[in-house]
Amino acid sequence: MKGIGKALARTPFAVTSKIGMSKKSVDPEFDDYHRHFTSLEQAAEKLIKDTKAFSEGVTSLFTAGAGFATHFSVIFQPIAGEFDLIGKHPDASHTILNVTKYETAMQELRELIGPELELIDTRIAGPAKELQSVMKLIRKTITKRDHKLTDYDRFNNSLTKLRDKKEKSLSDEKNLFKLEQDFEIATSEYEYINNALKQDFPRFMMLATQFIDPLFNSFFYMQLNIYYLLLEKMNSFADESKFDVSNAPGAQIAADYESKRSDAWSIIENLGIIKRIVSVCKSLSRLVQQTRAQNSQTGLGRQPSTATSVASGSSLRASAPPSRSVSSGGYKKAPPPPPSNSLQAAPPPPYTPSFSGGSTASASAAAATKRAPPPPPPLKPKPKPAPQIKYVVALYDFAAQADGDLTFNAGDRIELVEKTQSTEDWWTGRLNGAQGVFPGKCSLLFQCI
């Protein structure tokens, strides 16, 4: 209650002084100390925060380190049904043999670090928090001093005003006497607390510096010990499992890694199952190409019959994942030709412009023969009384594989020039002014609008 009364009494002065109507006293000496103190306050807070961040960093380093080791070692353990990983991957035997040891080492390390963290918590963070609570007491004293200063200025101002008044009434005289008394009290109270602060501040600053010395030293040794534990463990692990961990530049480590990297990367990158499904159409069309090649070799016009589609189906199964039976174990030595290469290496489909199957008036033969010469611009191919234009929408990307093929992307609207009943055939279409054939084989992949 008393506090509220005081606060109320101080308010008008706070307002007038703010707008510059009344005088406010300053003590530069005190202000200087005060500035210092404030920065120390902030420093203490930062110290607590950063010590915590450091501890958490260490905790997480060792937890994550152990976790990583665990999961990484699982990668190198046989999966159900696998056997003799080392036999299959002799080059990786060093890793395979040591991942478990590494896992153990990292687990041990995580346990070793516990006591160190405990120390940091009790011996560093603890005292820093103590310091902070001491500073809070001082902060309270400073607030009090500020209030006393306000009182002092307030009475001082009123007193000056009243003294300067030319004609004083009786009550003014009475007030003057009272104000003089109040001012005297305010002055002594303010001076007492201000002097006490000015006297103790230097002492406190000194103590703060003395405080930080042993704290810093302790923290330093705890920190050093953490690095030491890590170093020791790494060294003993490296010794035991014959890893060369002599300090090399980071770039060297990366370079060594690159040189040891096997072609497992490129083999994986060439696997079909890690490619987006779009590849289905591509592989399909590749197959089509093969079938087409076969057909043109045998010189048989394809019948759009179920029989051929079954046949090509089986040929597809036989050759679908072409030559990808990689011999395991020899990744580094004999890089098997990447599948895409082997496909390219296969001779491009020999489209002989043979009219041998002249009798087979099937549209497929027509399509095949059309492929041979650069397709004549069939702007008006047939006097068909069907001016109605049909479109198909491509569901997948298709890249031209030979002259006369039509290239398009999924979603393209292709004007249908010629199409047969069978999806086994190549259809002719027009897109962006270009005309060409594309696999009707991808019959599943097109939708007639």
Partner 1 sequence: MSWAGFKKSVNRAGTTLLQKTGQIERTVDREFTEEEAKYRIKAYWDAMRAMTSAQSRIAETLETFYGAADRSSEGAMAGHAYKRSVDDMDTTFTRELDVPFRTTISEPLGKMCAYFPVVNEHIAKRNKKLLDYDSARNKLRKLIDKPSEDPTKLPRAQQEHDECKEMFDMLNDQLIAELPQLLDLRVPYFDPSFEAMIRMQAKFAEEGYEKLSGVQRYFADNVRDDYAAGQLDAQVEGILQEMRELSICGGN
209/352 with CB nearer partner 1: 209
Range in contact with partner 1 (rule: CB under 8 A) among 3-11, 110-118, 279-287, 340-348: 279-287
Please name which of 447, 372, 365 lies closest in space to residue 403, comparing C-alpha atoms.
Answer: 372
Q: What is the DSSP string of 2-44?
A: HHHHHHHHHHHHHHHHHTTSS-----HHHHHHHHHHHHHHHHH
- Is 447 a binder of partner 1 (CB under 8 A)? no
Determine the Cα–Cα distance for residues 237 and 230; give it in Å rounded to an integer.
11
Read off φ and ψ for residue 411, nearest 5 degrees: 95, -15
Q: How far is the CB of 333 from partner 1 (least distance, A)?
A: 11
Q: What is the DSSP string of 202-269?
A: HHHHHHHHHHHHHHHHHHHHHHHHHHHHHHHHHHHHHHHHT-------HHHHHHHHHHH--THHHHHH
Query: Binding partner 1 by CB under 8 A: which of 155, 201, 398, 427?
Result: 201
Q: What residues numbered 330-349 form the site for partner 1, per CB under 8 A?
A: 331-332
Q: What residues numbered 377-396 form the site for partner 1, per CB under 8 A?
A: none
- Is 211 a binder of partner 1 (CB under 8 A)? yes
Query: Binding partner 1 by CB under 8 A: which of 30, 243, 351, 391?
Result: 243
Query: Binding partner 1 by CB under 8 A: which of 250, 347, 376, 385?
Result: 250
Q: How far is the CB of 185 from partner 1 (least distance, A)?
A: 16
Please name which of 179, 182, 51 lies closest in space to residue 119, comparing C-alpha atoms.
Answer: 51
Residue 187 is inside which H or E element, if any?
Answer: helix 170-241
**Could you give the C-alpha distances from 28 to 25, 33, 35, 153, 435, in angstroms and in order?**
10, 9, 10, 16, 90
Query: Binding partner 1 by CB under 8 A: which of 11, 181, 188, 209?
Result: 209
Range in contact with partner 1 (rule: CB under 8 A) among 164-172, 274-282, 348-356, 374-382: 274-282
- Is 185 a binder of partner 1 (CB under 8 A)? no
Q: What is the DSSP string of 297-313?
A: HHTPPPP-SHHHHHHHH
Q: What residues numbered 40-59 form the site for partner 1, per CB under 8 A?
A: 40, 42-43, 46-47, 50-51, 53-54, 56-59
Query: Binding partner 1 by CB under 8 A: which of 14, 117, 162, 205?
Result: 205
37/155 with CB nearer partner 1: 37
195/354 with CB nearer partner 1: 195
Q: What residues numbered 122-151 form the site for partner 1, per CB under 8 A?
A: 123, 127, 130-131, 134, 137-138, 140-141
